[in-house]
Amino acid sequence: MTVDAEPSPGPAGRGEPAVRRPLATYRLQLNARFTFDDARRLVPYLADLGISDVYASPYLMARAGSLHGYDIVDHGALNPELGSEAHYEAFVAALRAHGMGQILDVVPNHMGIAEGQNRWWNDVLENGPGSAYADFFDIDWEPVKREIENRVLLPILGDQYGRVLENQELTLELLDGGFRLRYYGAVLPIAPQSATEILGYRLEALTTTLGEAHPDLQEYQSILTGLRHLPGRTETAPDRVRERARETDVLRRRLSRLLEASEPVRASLEETVGVFNGKRGDPRSFDLLHRLLDGQAYRLAH
């Protein structure tokens, strides 16, 4: 993509914008070690060399720590490691002051999906074909192997699934408003409907602790009911997709507030997470986590 630093008038009488033809380019590889400010300070030197345009790596938000910028996780924001919008505008102003332009290297289908930083990809892993972003990715939801129908195969494990599970390399974590699965640096979502298995596990004990009339218990039960009645992940009608996303967000905010306000609820869920994570040396203790993972829109593999 070629961007004019200072738009030029088109051919006389035609009223058409001029096409910028770079005469000499200089590659800029931007990252946390070479930012918009660094690039701005380099502009006068490049102009003296006779450079007409800088040829820059992507500016959009990439995976944290990316040195090349092509593993983009948000196409709607500048990479904060390169600087702010004000820093970018100052860089552009320096180019304009020297009559220079910029060529931006863009690869639309390059994205970063590691470490749970890509919101679109996380949503697909959480909601499967019922994700608002399912069509953004080339996924075969009806593969030859029927056991992974409507699921994404994730071959990220360093060993066979059963060994990884029983070695406690897969761990369930409680977040404010939800749950996630961690496998070393990989962070994966837990679908809201399957979270009912976690929330319902110690419901009887929590009822005994709080009492049936306690407002915190009633809110907890209401959240559980709401999660159970979400549209399924195979429901792809636009109105059902929007409903699932909207209600999931509302229920997570409610659970987050409840966890903050109620120590018994938080303690109960923390204990439940510990149970789901099993005990090394006791294979049966991992049955709960296995059943939970079997209900996700992804399947882990070696």
- Tokens 């990316």 belong to residue: 66
Q: Which two tokens stand for residue 156?
A: 């990220």
Q: pLDDT grade, residue 109 (50/70/90)?
A: confident
CA 254 to chain centre: 22
Q: pLDDT grade, residue 73 (50/70/90)?
A: very high
Q: pLDDT grade, residue 261 (50/70/90)?
A: very high
Q: Which CATH architecture fits 2-104?
A: 2-Layer Sandwich (3.30)
- The mean pLDDT of 259-263, rounded to a whole number, is 96
pLDDT in tens, 34-71: 999 999 999 999 999 999 999 999 999 999 999 999 99
pLDDT in tens, 124-171: 999 999 999 999 999 999 999 998 999 999 999 999 999 999 999 999
Residues whose CB falls within 8 Å of the CB of residue 210, separated by 6 or more in sequence, listed in order: 216, 217, 264
pLDDT at res. 2: 52
Mean per-residue pLDDT over the chain, rounded: 92
Q: For residues 26 and 6, which has the higher predicted lDDT (pLDDT)?
A: 26
- The mean pLDDT of 104-109, rounded to a whole number, is 86
Domain spans, the chain: 2-104, 114-300
- Tokens 């552009």 belong to residue: 92
Neighbour tally for 44: CB within 10 Å: 12
Q: pLDDT grade, residue 9 (50/70/90)?
A: low
Using the predicted structure, report yes or no on whether residue 3 has a pLDDT greater than 70. Answer: no
Q: Cβ distance 228 to 196 under 8 Å?
A: yes
Using the predicted structure, report yes or no on whether residue 108 has a pLDDT greater than 60. Answer: yes
Residues of the chain above pLDDT 70, percent = 94
